[in-house]
Structure 1
Amino acid sequence: MIPTNQGLAPGEAATRTAAARPAPLPEPPRFEVRRNRPGTAAGVYLTTPQSPHALDAPHGPLILDGDGRPVWFHPVPDGELAADLRVQRYQGRPVLTWWQGTFHDLSHGRGVCHVADERYRIIASVSGSAPADLHEFRLTPRGTALLMQYVPRETDLSAVGGPPSATVLDGVVEEVDVATGETVWRWSSLDHIPVTESDLPYGLLPEPYDYLHLNSVDEDADGDLLVSARYTSAVYKVDRRTGEIVWRLGGRQSSFPLGAGVRFGWQHDATWSAPGVVKVFDNATVDMWPGWESRVAWIRVDAARGETGLVRQFVHPEHLCTTREGAAHELPGGGAVVAWGPTGRMSEFSPDGELLFDAALPPGEWSSYRVYKSPWEGRPEEPPSAFVQDGSVRAVWNGATGVARWRVLAGASAGSLEPVAEAPWDGLDTAVPLPGTARGATHVRVDALDGGGGVVGSSDVVTTEVDGR
């Protein structure tokens, strides 16, 4: 539930008068919903639409309801982007987390990871010993966070046809205490994974040489880490105590034979689905060599027997090819929501792989690296806003969940408001047409109503001429 009138005294909402007409939010990128069938999981979609080629457009973390309508949008400063918005738990409470910063070479980021409470207040920000990369920000039950960094480092590349001294991007994983920002554990890929494992030829892209391209980290039940490296087409189990590689799944030096249907390439988002089962977003392709169909694959890994096998997979009916980015969030019951990277698509599948929900960003360079779906109750600190435009009152309450309808009250003064119109909630910015009888009113307020018709929030009274423009 949302606190009624945000803590105002009884009757106060009816007499508050705003000094000026409120300004609307920048409009977030819109998803076109192409399929929405019964059976989707409960919760909201959490995404971060981004376009490094359209930085003048609004960017930021975005929450959508089950029908693809915006619930919350947090615009970031011009020139910045956001990534990896999700619901996690911190200090026993659900929180929102996301990365925010700048892109470099369209492949990695330099920024900060934020934690926000249910009122959308940022309560912690961490980056570790260097600017945090965009690919991962995972909270642990210990009050710490696992995150990644791309750190330039000089090394010998003669074994891969390069010079004896060249700049390489070291893939670094750090565990950081969220409350203090202190780094409590650090792992360097160059100390444990040689450049000769890379599938990316040296010199194909400008320096620094990104030989590994880490893009996800997950924690194992035994405390070890599961790390995904796109440019070696391998997933690594890392011993937390020593930093050594326990085993490799895939790549040039796989510790196990790859069973039928297991082989993957250029992957993202490798996480544990269940004991002995790894879920991976298999891009199966890369920008330089597009054309292969991408998928989500669940792979059984029996380290004791040295065996692997394909458990199941999800593919999009349109056979989407995701040349970069991409992720899958497994839902309770076995379904999943999937982000298809630069195709601009996001989908939800049933446990048996039926496509239930499908939406698309505007055509062009818009994408969302990841998408999640989780229950979330937002309680904004600020009350709703109202402003008049084109003969309608626009009711805005950024981040509020649990609003079923909007009621508009209008009159000749703040003390003479009467209900004149209602409309169902239709996103964080809902337009409610004014009837002709209210067009001469000079004062307007909106009330947010819950499913039972109770008032859960009220705007200031806006003094404006309602003239139908």
Structure 2
Amino acid sequence: MFSFFLASFLFISGATAKKHPFQFEDDDYIQYRTLPDHRIVKWNITHYDRSAIAPGYLFTAPYWTHDGDAETDQWVPYQMGPHIFDQDGVLVWAGSAESDNRPSFDFRVIDLATPGSPGSEPQQALAWMLFHEHFAPETNGSVIIFDSNYNHERTISIPSGEIDTHDFNVIDNGSKALMIRVSRDVQPLIDFGQPEKGARIDVNGFIEIDLLAGGNTTAEARTVDWQSPGRVGLDESFVTNLTYLHPDFMHANAIDKNQYGDYLLSARHTSTIYLISGQDGHIIWRLGGKKNNFAKDFDFFGQHDARFIAVNETHYVISFLQNGAIDANVQEPVSSALYVELDIVAMKATILRRYMRPDGGSTERRGNMQTLPNTNVFVGWSWDSYISEFSADGRLLMEAKFSSDRHDTYRSYKFPWVGRPSYPPTLLSESYGVNGSELSTVFHVSWNGATDIEYWRFFAQANSTSNRTEIGIVQKEGFETSFIARGFMDWVSVEALDSSMEVLGASSSLRTPRPKYWTGETLPKPDDPETFLVAYSIKAAAPRDTERLVGIFIAGLFSSAVVWTFFWYRHTLKRYGLRCYSNAVLASAGYLPVSTTGLNSPNLEGEMPFLVEKVE
């Protein structure tokens, strides 16, 4: 009876207990000793044809909600912001600290021209966008740019009333950038038959800024400032609920530019892609939406990331993500990525290639499509950072997503990248042991952002001024590599090596703490690495050891002689009454003869290959 009431109590209490919404298990994260304040999302990755996959790294920026935590706009530990992973989902760089752990958007590699050096070769850099601080719309948003050494190159401030984090598209050989802008203006409701009324509505546009001049976004510094009022009617929108606080009738999400100076603008809530004249700003044509100008045998809805792929005087090829939905308004059950050819003479649109979302799901918002240098297609489906890579002809080569369903990402990209941090590697060392006879020193090392490391070389010193002694070289394993050395190594350091064993960087020397839970009466003394390693690796035999080894050798030699004599003269010995096991005796005990055929194989000649190459 008691057990019944106890079980009932546990059931009821378990069913009624409420868990705080921010208390959860973290087994979908990875924690590293050398990044103690970070929690890194895990990936589930499937490669279907690794040989056909384009080289490069995965660029993504996980976030929980758009605005962040309601109280702080941050999370502790670090989880949000820009991250780089390799093709197996192993962390390369965590940039949460560099983005104040705030949600970040459109994290990508850009080619950035050098101010004051027109015509110079642009350099690779990292860029991402930050929204204004939570509950502080008066604060500016920004674009953050880091160089390949992970130094802060610049911050481009975006005025508080115009912040839009959809797109930072660097063009013209790294000298200019395009961004979406948004403002809240009172618009007359003429398109809704209410000319006497007005409503404060979110209206979109785009700006072009000069990066060689520093990237100033103030109105007077913009080379282009295009706005939609008077050009895009409110009646084009599929989101027309004027009861919203600030109706978002257009929701522009991507802007691109072709060699003729015209602009391609994608607007989600009008489900339209606009070509806008670079001469006077008029809309040249519309693809899709309520005012479509093209003959086409397909539809799209709520699209994202429209880009020019190829352009001439009569035809365009563009790419975009066909979401097929605007939030809960789903028009197509499966999202896809499209290449579309536009005949701008006959005004006809034709699908060249469609890449379906592999899991058959719907990306109801966000997402992007990227054409890779080898013509593969990389698609970011946004939810759970779901991504996939296709060959140009449509074969699925890879798909992946976060192990956690608590994070999304706005866009995901794939780029070649060489990261060489200006800061040193991070090294931790700890000593372990319960008595003075056998101690070990455990190392953990990483270099956040470094891409070229193949090996780690560890050193120890008897004191701060003595020479360094190499105590081991190990191959880099994942983001964080561990190494165990015998003895108590006091002053330690590490070097990062590339595939040619050239030094990429080195840590400073640090001291290893004494064992944390030491039980001895006196604290252990550090070992001198020079004498300690010699004693363990090439241990010289003492006189007594030599005598013992010689005795063992003689005894072994004598035993071998006895066995050999017994084997070869067993028949003679048998005649003198010594018992030997004959075949009949063995057979009576259940043993069967074994064939020796093939035992003279050349594979058995010489020394056995105890060390063999690992076959993956």
TM-score by structure 2 length?
0.67
Structure 1 unmatched runs, 5+: 1-20
Corresponding letter in the other structure for 1:331:
L
Q: Is the 8 A contact 1:46 1:85 kept in 2?
A: yes
**SS in structure 2 of the partner of residue 196 of structure 1:** helix
Mapped pair 1:425 → 2:458 = no
Q: Is the 8 A contact 1:113 1:132 kept in 2?
A: no
Superposed, 1:260-339 pairs within 5 Å as 262-275=298-311, 276-290=316-330, 292-339=333-380
Matches of 2:379 and 2:455 in 1, distance apart?
30
Match of 2:523 in 1: none
Q: Is the 8 A contact 2:304 2:323 kept in 1?
A: yes
Summarize the Cα distance change of 1:360–1:22 in structure 2 as closer, same or farther, 3 Å threshold. closer
Following superposition, the deviation at residue 350 of structure 1 comes to 1.7
Following superposition, the deviation at residue 131 of structure 1 comes to 4.6
**SS in structure 2 of the partner of residue 190 of structure 1:** coil
Corresponding letter in the other structure for 1:272:
F
Corresponding letter in the other structure for 1:60:
G
CA RMSD in angstroms comes to 2.6
Matches of 1:468 and 1:418 in 2, distance apart?
25
Structure with larger Rg:
2
Matches of 1:246 and 1:274 in 2, distance apart?
18
Structure 2 unmatched runs, 5+: 1-32, 114-121, 433-440, 518-616
Q: Is the 8 A contact 1:34 1:360 kept in 2?
A: no
Q: Is the 8 A contact 1:228 1:269 kept in 2?
A: yes
Following superposition, the deviation at residue 357 of structure 1 comes to 2.3
Superposed, 1:73-84 pairs within 5 Å as 73-75=94-96, 76=98, 78=100, 80-84=102-106
Summarize the Cα distance change of 1:388–1:463 in structure 2 as closer, same or farther, 3 Å threshold. same
Q: Is the 8 A contact 1:217 1:226 kept in 2?
A: yes
Q: Is the 8 A contact 2:191 2:233 kept in 1?
A: no
Corresponding letter in the other structure for 1:202:
N
Mapped pair 1:117 → 2:147 = yes
Following superposition, the deviation at residue 330 of structure 1 comes to 0.6
Matches of 2:143 and 2:324 in 1, distance apart?
29
Match of 1:442 in 2: 490
Deviations 1:334-380 (A, max 9, x none): 21211111243122222222222222124333112112222211121
Q: Is the 8 A contact 2:185 2:202 kept in 1?
A: yes
Corresponding letter in the other structure for 2:60:
T
Q: Is the 8 A contact 1:160 1:202 kept in 2?
A: no
Superposed, 1:61-460 pairs within 5 Å as 61-75=82-96, 76=98, 78=100, 80-91=102-113, 92-102=122-132, 111-128=141-158, 130-141=161-172, 143-157=175-189, 159-160=191-192, 164-178=197-211, 179-180=213-214, 181=216, 182-203=221-242, 206-259=244-297, 262-275=298-311, 276-290=316-330, 292-388=333-429, 392-414=442-464, 415=466, 417-427=468-478, 429-435=479-485, 437-438=486-487, 440-460=488-508
More helix by share: 2
Summarize the Cα distance change of 1:40–1:25 in structure 2 as closer, same or farther, 3 Å threshold. farther
Q: Is the 8 A contact 1:344 1:361 kept in 2?
A: yes
Summarize the Cα distance change of 1:445–1:468 in structure 2 as closer, same or farther, 3 Å threshold. farther
Percent identity at matched positions? 28
Following superposition, the deviation at residue 145 of structure 1 comes to 1.1
Greater CA deviation, 176-185 or 210-219? 176-185
Following superposition, the deviation at residue 128 of structure 1 comes to 5.0
Q: Is the 8 A contact 1:258 1:309 kept in 2?
A: yes
Q: Is the 8 A contact 2:168 2:178 kept in 1?
A: yes
Match of 2:59 in 1: 46
Match of 1:35 in 2: 47
Matches of 2:242 and 2:101 in 1, distance apart?
29
Summarize the Cα distance change of 1:321–1:102 in structure 2 as closer, same or farther, 3 Å threshold. farther
Deviations 1:68-98 (A, max 9, x none): 2121121145562111122221222222221
Alignment length (residue pairs): 440
Q: Is the 8 A contact 2:140 2:158 kept in 1?
A: no
Corresponding letter in the other structure for 1:238:
I
Deviations 1:192-231 (A, max 9, x none): 1011000113147x32110000000011121100000000
Corresponding letter in the other structure for 1:146:
L
Matches of 2:321 and 2:477 in 1, distance apart?
33
Greater CA deviation, 24-33 or 44-53? 24-33
Summarize the Cα distance change of 1:70–1:278 in structure 2 as closer, same or farther, 3 Å threshold. same
Corresponding letter in the other structure for 1:418:
T
Q: Is the 8 A contact 1:110 1:134 kept in 2?
A: no
**SS in structure 1 of the partner of residue 191 of structure 2:** helix
Deviations 1:88-122 (A, max 9, x none): 212222222211234889xxx96211222221222
Corresponding letter in the other structure for 1:58:
Q
Deviations 1:129-169 (A, max 9, x none): 55541111111227221111221111123634888221111
Corresponding letter in the other structure for 2:206:
V
Matches of 1:89 and 1:317 in 2, distance apart?
31
TM-score by structure 1 length?
0.86
Matches of 2:279 and 2:385 in 1, distance apart?
40
Q: Is the 8 A contact 2:368 2:380 kept in 1?
A: yes
Matches of 2:482 and 2:333 in 1, distance apart?
47
Q: Is the 8 A contact 2:141 2:158 kept in 1?
A: no
Matches of 2:130 and 2:85 in 1, distance apart?
19
Matches of 1:462 and 1:23 in 2, distance apart?
17
